[in-house]
Amino acid sequence: MSRARSLWCVLLLAVMAALPLGGVLFSGKAIGPFDWIAPMTGAVDVPKPEQNWDILQADGVLQFYNWRDLVFEAWGRGEWPFWNPYQLAGTPLLANSQSAAFYSPHIAMGILHVPTPVAMKLLAWFHLFWAGLGAFLLARRLGASEAGGLVAGGLFGTSAFLVAWVALPSVPTTCAWIPWCLWSIVRLFDEADRAPLPRRATPLALCVAMLVLGGHLQFVAYGLMATGFVWLWLLVQKRAWKAGLIGLGGLLAGGMLASPQLLPVLEYGRFSHRANTPSEEGYAGYVASALQAYELPALVSLTLLGHPGPLNEAGALPNYWPALAKRGANPAESAATVGPLALALIGLGLATRRLRQGAWPFAVMAGLGLLLAMGTPLNRALYFGLPGWSSSGSPGRIVVLTVLAAAVLAGLAVPKQGEDGLPERRVLGGATVGLLATLVALGVAARGVEVTWIEGFGAGSIAAMAAQSARAGVLPPLILAVLAVVVLVVVARRGWKDGEVLVGMAVPLVAGVLFYGGWVPTGTPPVAASAKDPSRVAFVNDRWDLLVPAPALMPPNTATAGRVVDLAGYDSLLHRDTVKMLADIMGQDPAPPANGNIMLVKSSADPNKLREAGVTTVYARSVVAALGTPRQAADNLYAYDLGGPGRASTPHGAATFEQDGLDRTVVRATGPGTLVLRDRNMPGWSASVDGEPAELRGDRWREVDLPEGEHRVEFRYRPPGLQRGLTLCIVGVGALVLAGVLGRSRRSVPASPGTG
């Protein structure tokens, strides 16, 4: 019967994972705020956006849709997804990490030729479900009942944190594997598990590999920190040294399996424009982006800070008021929501002393995660001690560990079916914690919040918006808190009998997920590209705004969807020489103040330097005198023909593109003379002429000397670090095979404390 109940829990988790996505799963829409971006790309008859403008969510269209589209296309046509020729005069694709080019579900979607909008919807559902299933199994491994596992899985898999990041899929993709890594570690130290120790290391290695391949390195670090913390806790607690050593081997093997993607990322990261030396000034800016005290009501419900979904009909400013109080604040960055149900259950567990020794590492994890997320001095050790940490994003993101740990604690606090009834007074007192926390959160106001970066908004204005948001968002958390208390008391009165607990826990879980409706941005996806023109163009943009949509023209990376070769671009990992090149062309910083990773072609661009960069046509919303006489392409759109040598040429004229792929470029050119391909020349490129290796020269561009006559020139790209990564991957696979053989050849003897 227990197996049947567990199956029902898994099915319910799968259904709950679909609820936050709403109708987008079965519609022609795609995940991402396409309806906001579409007018910027020249689309007409675009539906009115249904949600607030959100500069972070816009990345779902500007970055992730295009990266996934390129990766799927490459695998679908048998190419390696190594290089993006459409942005920044060419830039690495595999080595940008968040493209997750070697992540196995992405490979499968490409090989199966699943259309990108459909693939991204399926993957969004899958990772919410997978995160929930991992938390379910983790709680069960720690001793929770089926109902407790359902609570843990439901709370984490459909948490406000994961749902708020769905449009930026590298985050839920990576975070979905954190509970699986923790489950693998707990299983490794479980003395009741009959599987041989070496074979128990295999799931750990596979989960770590998938965590890393998920692509978001900041959350990879959080997942490894959590895994290492639980490993150390159990090692000291159980003194099972053999299991601990095998666990280290599993972690190492997981890293080796992910090396073909990880090592190119690390190699390319050495040239990052964000690489810096940790400083006190940088640290101050880093902790300024942390969770603030006035954001803590989000622990109960994110809606108390303003609903991240519906459009604000009163004006253009977002409903989410912390965006006005803190530069760069965003609902996803503040989504520390544990929720009234988890708070009620944790209160119940404390009141009835059900949270015992097995829960302690997760209680400590929850507390440490929250302290680090709030920018406390604990962050100094990470910022100044870990290489590269000073270039990472907001420390508030580590709250994902608090959310996961709280979900597990809530699951452990659910009494097991068949237990004797607990004293109703304790049940009522402990469960009321969720209700009281909700009421206390409502009393948190933004009085005294200092607004220094927006004119016209003082503490009084923010406090008024906060009060309005709290009133508008109070109903969902209050309903859920009251429902949680009622369910717990009713179930307690009946003595925690069989499936009644399971049904009782499912009710507030499903009710809570329904409140997330409308959070995930959606819109009409772009039409797939048909013909491809290898000519490089540029679009003039001088602004990108934090709070309202900018009057942009083809924002960086949007050209990729139409396979248009654009000089601008947007990536979190940019080559510093590319940034210097664009700064030289613009005569100023190519990035807008709102986002240092966006590289614009600004109206200050030097037309001669644009020609040297292979740009033949520039488009602008208004007249740019420095570019000469325009031809009007359409209403409020001007085109400037620059002439120049084009993207590839020899002294005899332009070259002809035969293939402009994601791992190679093939052109036909006439010699004698030097062929110049005005695509970025980076380590990893090689050249051949008529099938014979040729010397590749050039600093900024790729140059090859040609003899007389017409020639076929092939430029091939292999990311630095890839070969070593493949070698390490093979070694890792061999280690896991050996572990499996050793596990079969002898039975595992459970380690007793002190003997390992």
Query: What tens digit of pLDDT does each residue of 730-739 get?
Result: 999 999 888 8
* Residues forming a β-bridge with 693: 688
Cβ neighbours of residue 11 closer than 8 Å, sequence gap 6 or more: none
The neighbour count for residue 1, using CB atoms within 10 Å, is 9
In this structure, what are the phi and psi dihedrals at residue 710, rounded to the nearest 5 degrees? -90, 140
Does residue 423 surpass a pLDDT of 80?
no
Do residues 32 and 175 lie in contact, with contact meaning Cβ atoms separated by under 8 Å? no
User: Per mean pLDDT, which range of 104-113, 419-428, 571-580, 659-668 is the poorest?
Assistant: 419-428
Confidence of residue 497 (pLDDT cuts 50, 70, 90): low
Read off the pLDDT of each residue in 503-527 and give the average, rounded to a whole number: 84
Highest mean pLDDT among 45-59, 344-358, 367-381, 417-431: 367-381
The whole-angstrom separation of Cα 94 and Cα 96 is: 6
Read off the pLDDT of each residue in 509-532 and give the average, rounded to a whole number: 80
Q: What is the pLDDT of residues 251-292, one digit of tens each?
A: 999 999 999 999 999 999 999 988 778 889 889 989 989 998
Q: Where are the domains of the chain?
A: 649-717
Rounded to two decimals, what is the model's pTM?
Answer: 0.94
Percentage of the chain modeled with pLDDT above 70: 89
421 by DSSP, 3-state: which? coil
Six token digits for residue 256? 């080796």
What is the pLDDT, as a whole number, of residue 752?
41
Six token digits for residue 279? 């400083």
The whole-angstrom separation of Cα 204 and Cα 252 is: 10
The whole-angstrom separation of Cα 626 and Cα 640 is: 10
Do residues 444 and 311 lie in contact, with contact meaning Cβ atoms separated by under 8 Å? no
Cα→Cα distances 725→19, 213, 216, 258, 263, Å: 39, 13, 18, 8, 6
Residue 11 or 327, more confident: 11
Read off the pLDDT of each residue in 696-715 and give the average, rounded to a whole number: 96
Does residue 748 surpass a pLDDT of 50?
no
Do residues 84 and 91 lie in contact, with contact meaning Cβ atoms separated by under 8 Å? yes
Do residues 435 and 270 lie in contact, with contact meaning Cβ atoms separated by under 8 Å? no
- The number of helices, as runs of H, and strands, as runs of E, in the chain is 29, 18
Q: What is the pLDDT of residues 228-246, one digit of tens each?
A: 999 999 999 999 999 999 9
586 by DSSP, 3-state: which? helix
What is the pLDDT, as a whole number, of residue 152?
95
In this structure, what are the phi and psi dihedrals at residue 701, rounded to the nearest 5 degrees? -110, 170
User: How much is the mean pLDDT over the chain?
Assistant: 88
Do residues 547 and 329 lie in contact, with contact meaning Cβ atoms separated by under 8 Å? no
Does residue 467 surpass a pLDDT of 80?
no
Does residue 87 surpass a pLDDT of 80?
yes
Read off the pLDDT of each residue in 133-151 and give the average, rounded to a whole number: 93
Treating both helix axes as pointing N-terminal to C-terminal, what angle do 399-413 and 340-351 enclose, rounded to 10 degrees? 50
Q: What is the pLDDT of residues 713-747, one digit of tens each?
A: 999 999 999 999 999 999 999 998 888 777 665 55
Backbone conformation region of residue 643, classed left if phi is above 0, alpha if psi is from -120 to 50, else beta: left
Does residue 438 surpass a pLDDT of 80?
no
The whole-angstrom separation of Cα 99 and Cα 107 is: 12
Read off the pLDDT of each residue in 214-238 and give the average, rounded to a whole number: 95
What is the pLDDT, as a whole number, of residue 135?
98
What Rg, from alpha-carbon coordinates, does the chain have?
27
**Sign of the dihedral through C-alpha 67, 73, 74, 76:** positive
Please count the CA atoms within 13 angstroms of the CA of 407 that sit on its side-chain side.
33
684 by DSSP, 3-state: which? coil
Confidence of residue 749 (pLDDT cuts 50, 70, 90): very low
The whole-angstrom separation of Cα 488 and Cα 687 is: 69
Treating both helix axes as pointing N-terminal to C-terminal, what angle do 217-238 and 399-413 enclose, rounded to 10 degrees? 50
What is the pLDDT, as a whole number, of residue 432?
73
The neighbour count for residue 23, using CB atoms within 10 Å, is 9
